[in-house]
Amino acid sequence: MQSLGIVEGYYGGLYNFAERRSLISSLSEAQLNSYFYAPKEDPFLRGNFHLYQSETWRSEFKDFVQLASEKSVEITVGLTPCSKQHIDLIEEKIDYFCELGCKKIALLFDDLEQFKADEQLQALNKAKLAFPEVAFLFCPTVYAQELIGKDSQHTTYFQEFLENCPEGIDILWTGKKVISTNLNFESESAIAGFPSERIAIWDNYFTIDSCPKRFNLTNFNHLDKSYLKNKANYFVNLTGMERTDKLIIDIFGNLLSSSGTKFKNILQRHGVPDALIEMIDLFDPEIKIKLLESDKEKLHKIIFSWFHPLKNEWYPYLHNLKNWG
């Protein structure tokens, strides 16, 4: 069965468990089945890997996993043992999350300043041997085509990774770019030796942590649906804005369904006014923004006449659009 859902994997801010439970309900309603817990701001997953959350957090996380199970949503946890000391503790850390009900673990070595392919793969092999009942994903330090040639260290790392990655492992990949605006079979050209179904997609299209002035919102225009059918794992990275993320979940679920619901109707039921829906192409990264004065006036009216929680999340982006150029 495919794992299709979301990843809480952005920089900046953390959801609380009430918000995460609400997202689980949204996933269930959209008939999506995966929540990948890997927030960059959870220090216990990365920099403070050797430490553990409080008992209160542990209890809340366990309840969160239980709710997800009741809603037929699988929880994946992303761990980053970013030093030799952390790698020595990897079995203990995985066991901690297994006891909380997790059966799927991702080892994430993205965005590290110090990295060695052999140490990372040793950690993976160690984990697989100790926990044969756990499903593992692996994110290499080079997780997008554009990172291969970043410098000689990244190029060498990638060559070593390709030569030594064990068979049967699912690797995480963002496509040609860290934030890819097209995801299709060509997105895998740099790792053509891997079976396509073993390349798990971490989709950063909607995330805003690297694009603070603009965010993308389309009817998944960037994704080739036939490509998606070939994926065992596909995760859409969130924005950290709850209303927006629920909208993205709804759009993704509709893409996979046969309901035939139009993009406009999805936007309307989440509170987007018709005046803004008429201008929704402004959120398409493939379209160059060139606003007329009349467009700026329309945005100005929307900003000061639309009262909705979603508007509160979008205000900085609407304001920036209004002043674009």
Residues with a known catalytic role: 111
CA distance 225 to 140: 25
Q: What are the backbone angles phi and psi of residue 160, rounded to the nearest 5°?
A: -65, -40
Q: What are the backbone angles phi and psi of residue 248, rounded to the nearest 5°?
A: -60, -40
Contact 169, 198 (CB under 8 A): yes
CA distance 260 to 270: 17
* CA dihedral sign, ordered 255, 136, 244, 180: negative
HSE-CB of 134 using CA atoms within 13 angstroms: 29
* CA dihedral sign, ordered 156, 157, 162, 167: positive
- Residue owning tokens 């649906």: 225
Dmax (CA) of the chain: 63
- Classify the phi-psi angles of 115: left when phi > 0, otherwise alpha if psi is within -120 to 50, otherwise beta: beta
Contact 271, 265 (CB under 8 A): no
CA distance 114 to 58: 30
The candidate with the shortest Cα–Cα distance to 98, out of 126, 67, 136, is 136
